[in-house]
Amino acid sequence: MTGTVGPGADSMALLQPFPQPGRLVQLAYRQLDLATSRQQDHLLPLHDLANLQRPWDPATCQTLQLRREVWSWLEAVVPWLNHEHVWNVADVIPPCWPQHPHLVHEIAVLADQRYRAGQALSSDPLEEWHRHSLPEFTERMRTRLRNHCQEDHQSWPAKGRYSRHVGEATRRRRMDVYAGDVRALKSTDDQNQSPRLGPVDLETGEIKQP
């Protein structure tokens, strides 16, 4: 059986294998697996474990080469998803997906779960991915994108509201509300503060007033 293998290519292959991540992404997974199994406790301080780079959360991948590999992996995963799991045109992930942060976040998690399911020694995780992860992602994508980006990428419809939200005037009003809440809490705490208790007499158990 010969022919070019790849999504959209003229090929005799009926199914395309899930794209495998690059060497650095696999190394990141290896470090995470070691940390999860606590085999790496003697190699990394506890505070460093929280800083391990997680491919399912691209923003945590701060190493340039690793970040580049994550993008390359997702660039291969999205055509695979569209080719292997999409029939209805409304379910196609649009080519402008990197310009939609909400899609990037979800696609990275979807790729991670599919990768881990493919590494499992039973079909249960893959069934879970087929039954829940993929259709729920597709439904959320349809709901959020609606008719936008059907032909080409469109600018962010909510940009104006977001800009107002992060603007200095509205930010300062929120800060004032937070400060008022803290002042009210402090006032209530001062009124309800319990009397200070003194030391306990170890022989009688009596609490002495200061």
Round to whole Å and give the CA distance between 31 and 53: 9
Confidence of residue 202 (pLDDT cuts 50, 70, 90): low
Q: Is the per-residue pLDDT at 7 higher than 60? A: no
Q: Is the per-residue pLDDT at 4 higher than 50? A: no
The mean pLDDT of 94-111, rounded to a whole number, is 94
Sequence-distant contacts of 200-206: CB under 8 A, at least 24 apart: none
Judge whether 55 and 25 are in contact, CB under 8 Å: yes
Q: Is the per-residue pLDDT at 117 higher than 50? A: yes
pLDDT, greater one: 7 or 71: 71
- Calculate what percentage of the chain has a pLDDT beyond 70: 78
Span 21-54, pLDDT tens digits: 999 999 999 988 888 776 555 555 555 777 899 9
Average pLDDT, the chain: 83
Q: Is the per-residue pLDDT at 60 higher than 60? A: yes
Got the DSSP string for 98-139?
Answer: GG-HHHHHHHHHHHHHHHHHHHSSSSHHHHHIIIIIHHHHHH
Helix 159-166 vs helix 168-192: angle between axes, to the nearest 10 degrees? 50
Span 12-24, pLDDT tens digits: 688 999 999 999 9
Confidence of residue 3 (pLDDT cuts 50, 70, 90): very low
Q: Is the pTM of this model over 0.85?
A: no
The mean pLDDT of 69-75, rounded to a whole number, is 96
